[in-house]
Amino acid sequence: MKLALLLNVVDQSIGGVLIMGDRGTGKSVAVRALVDLLPNMEVVAADAFNSHPNIPALMGPDAQELYSSGNPLPTALVPTPLVELPLGATEDRICGTIDIEKALSAGVKAFEPGLLAKANRGILYVDEVNLLDDGLVDVVLDSAASGINTVEREGVSIQHPAKFIMIGSGNPQEGELRPQLLDRFGLSVAVATMQDTAVRTQMVLDRLAYESDPDAMSAAAEVEQEALRVRLVQAATKVKGDGVPLSRELRIIISEICSLLDIDGIRGDITVNRAARALAVFEGADEVTLEHVQRVLGLCLNHRLRKDPLSTIDTGTKVALAFQRITDPDRAKKEEKKRQAAVAAAKKAEQAAAPKPKAGAWGGLPSR
């Protein structure tokens, strides 16, 4: 889960992350803690769209008008925004609507920005995303993919930047997302409850220590936080620049794996390419290796596999087997022979353990 969140910070074009898991496993805590690792960003002062002062593509309508007229833009440093989308939100609240107060007082049609505008250049978090109306999820994911929100309301037509990291979380026991929506998330992780006693004990102690003295707990972790913050900034800067090379051979392997798994479309291929590069940059590697690809395959492809209710193999195992079959066919053949031998041995043992018919018992009609 942490790796998926950090990779999206390094390269926002990965497409966000979907976190599904048991209740009380720290999904929301991890997302809300992510903004503390992000640096303050420079915006146009008092702008509702978090407009970038120098890049027109990341400016709202008012800032663009000032920028094009040559007027200086006042700037300010603000924390990276984390906007939480509540389950009861309407489409008008999410996308924006007409400013009724200004319409009544001044008699003009003005646009009132929504949550997508506030999340621009930040993070949009949807808790219990599987309980949100599919239509609203689709609207949000469309904006996340294109980086633009288009609003048509009562004679007002407006476009504004909506470039953010889309993060969704939920409990799979309360319902699943449609495959069309699952495919729109770049990465997906399944979070389970920690069963290791030592880890659980340490988590409880950390929680109690934070409740006892939050400032002391934060100060103790600040050195580690700052080191991670620096790594993220350096990695994100490098990805926007030259990044690290990804060989043609690895690109072919990625496409072969996606084809073998019968992944619909090419979003999976593209996401694996981006995630592998982001991981290599984050870890300071000079080039993307097969190990980097292997580590991100499950994050990128698990939720894109077609569901088979009769299958006894989980999606993660299917992805691992496909990787092994493409990258090491000889080993895959040996593993398959070993599996077939084990099945044959189990069948033989079952037949040997079956009770033998009594002497003189009817054995069925004679064969021709």
Catalytic residue list: 267
- Is 112 within 8 Å of 99 (Cβ atoms)? yes
Alpha helices by DSSP H, listed for the chain, are: 2-10, 27-34, 61-69, 91-95, 100-106, 115-118, 134-146, 179-182, 197-212, 214-240, 248-260, 267-282, 290-301, 315-327, 329-353
As given in the structure block, the two tokens for residue 254 are 């990625």
Q: Rg (Cα) of the chain, in Å, rounded? A: 26
Rounded to whole angstroms, how far apart are CA atoms 230 and 280? 16
For residue 188, the SS3 value is strand
Rounded to whole angstroms, how far apart are CA atoms 210 and 215? 8
Rounded to whole angstroms, how far apart are CA atoms 212 and 220? 14
Q: Which sign does the torsion angle of CA 42, 43, 44, 46 carry?
A: negative
Tell the residue number behind the tokens 């107060």, with chain if given. 101
Q: Are strands 75-78 and 41-44 parallel, antiparallel or unpaired?
A: antiparallel
Rounded to whole angstroms, how far apart are CA atoms 332 and 326? 9
- Is 190 within 8 Å of 314 (Cβ atoms)? no
Instruction: Give first-to-last CA distance, the chain, whole Å.
Output: 63
